[in-house]
Amino acid sequence: MLQIGTKAPNFTLLDKDGNTVTLSDFAGKKVVLYFYPRDNTPGCTRQACAFATSYPDFTAQDVVVIGISKDSVASHLKFAQKYDLPFVLLSDPELQAIQAYDVWKEKKLYGKVSMGVVRTTYLIDEQGCIVWAKEKVKPDENAAELLAFLKGE
């Protein structure tokens, strides 16, 4: 996981509509960058829906919300449509941003070891520096936890 105070690595990925999105496009705004394992899985769906529910609170503070996984553009489009997700979803099948943000790690599930995305969230400030970072976030609490931080609670 990248440390607080680190300059956020720039990246260019495709969104759910196939448009090119670069992190530096959001210079001058705060950005919530959350990495999740897979579209349409229980935890990832709960996390995305929590961000969708809280989205008006983020936009009221001029904060951009971006979710990233290695799923395809088509998968992101279906996921966003199915759950009415109003924020940016980026596809990273080549693990460009996933590896740059150090969230591609060894995971153990039922005794089996494999590589995968560890659910991690970063908050990047207007100057492009990481000001909040948390690994292994809880899907149901992640959005509220960030909002509390943004409000200084």
Please give the domain boundaries of the chain with CATH numbers for all domains: 12-150 (3.40.30.10)
pLDDT one-digit tens code per residue, 28-68:
999 999 999 999 999 999 999 999 999 999 999 999 999 99
Residue 105 CB neighbours (<10 A): 13
pLDDT of residue 111: 85
Q: Which active-site residues does the annotation give?
A: 44
Band the pLDDT of 71: cuts 50, 70, 90. very high
Instruction: List, as one string, the DSSP characters of 131-145.
Output: EEEEES--TTTHHHH
- Predicted TM-score of the model (pTM): 0.95
Tens of pLDDT, residue by residue over 100-121, are 999 999 888 788 888 999 999 9
Cβ density class 50-75: b for 16+ within 10 Å, e for less: bbbebbeebeeeebbbbbbbbbebeb
